[in-house]
Amino acid sequence: ANYWLLLAAGVFSAIWLMVRGIVWRTLLKNRPSYRDTFIALGEGYLMNNFLPFRLGEFGRAFLLSRKTELSFTEILPTIIVERIFDLIISAAILVTAVPYVANAEGTEQIAYLIGGIVLVALAALYLLSRNQDWALGFFNNLSARWPKLQELGGGLVASLFAGLSVFNDGWLFLRFLLWMLFNWGLAIVQYTLIITAFFPQATVIWGMFGLGAAAFGGAVPSLPGALGTLEAAIGGSLNLLSGDWSTALAVALVVRLYNYAFSGVIGIYGLATEGETLSG
């Protein structure tokens, strides 16, 4: 491999993680400090690498709620919104790259399907955020027979809606979207550099196709950290482009190494300074 390109990709990986902290903090209306947001983000990604079912997303919401005035139920919707936009953008990247990739016909149908599903989910969240009084009234009427459920659930539902307030603030939503697009632009550069380090003939299309496949590979239900599925997604996509399985696997393993290294350093530092442990 070209180690200079791998070094440059490592720099972009670090920058990507820092910008992702800004993305999440923007959704949180800049209420937590950047340090608290960034540390909680690293802790969540570390937990995702070791826990199944994307439990790190709940973990980072829980840990951030312990060191800020924000409640867990206010924080969690911002992560849902962030992940929905991740899927929409990754679907768009994959659809853009597929026409330039031989033997990849039909792949775009997966992107269209997932993109359509998350767009419906996004529309539902938008409608809920714009009609909170109606939604709260509907919940109260539905739970009227169970006073205890109404008592416990009313505050929970109200907090969840508060976390969706990004849809009610046009300037906030625009800033979030611009930071998110910049973040994904960095990811395209990062993947293109890693792939080019092993395949000198690679282009930006290779980076986009590999990134889109990796995003979907990491999103499907899998072992902790998408172990196996991520390697299969990246390796399979690059094998379509190059016909070289062994080198494609080398690229996938470097992506895995960078994921573990950068989120691991931040996550372990955060857990250690806060007196937390993975088992705890």
What are the pLDDT digits (tens) for 5-49? 999 999 999 999 999 999 999 999 999 999 999 999 999 999 988
* Contacts with 219 (C-beta within 8 Å, 6 or more apart), sequence order: 86, 87, 90, 114, 226
Task: Answer whether residue 91 shows pLDDT above 90.
Answer: no
Q: Please determine, for residue 274, whether its predicted confidence score (pLDDT) is greater than 90.
A: no
pLDDT confidence of residue 11: 95
The span from the CA of 249 to the CA of 24, in Å, is 31
Helix (H) or strand (E) holding 127: helix 107-130
How does the average pLDDT of the chain come out, rounded? 85
In the predicted structure, residue 105 carries a pLDDT above the cut 90: no
How distant, in Å, are the alpha carbons of 51, 238, 268 from that of 279? 10, 36, 12
Q: Provide mean pLDDT across the span 178-197.
A: 96
So what's the pLDDT on residue 94?
Answer: 84
Residue of 165 and 177 predicted with greater confidence:
177
Please give the Cα distance from 239 to 192 (Å, whole number): 15
Between CA 138 and CA 233 the distance in angstroms is 42
Spatial distance between the Cα atoms of 23 and 30, rounded to a whole number of angstroms: 10
35 token code pair: 């340090």
Q: Is the pLDDT of residue 194 over 90?
A: yes
Whether the pLDDT of residue 173 is over 70: the answer is: yes
Distances (CA, A) of 250 to 84, 235, 257: 29, 8, 11
Query: Other C-beta atoms within 10 Å of 221: how many?
Result: 9
Closest CA to 252 of 214, 215, 220, 218: 214
What would the pLDDT profile of 123-133 be if each residue is shown by its tens digit?
A: 887 787 778 77
- 144 has a pLDDT exceeding 90: no
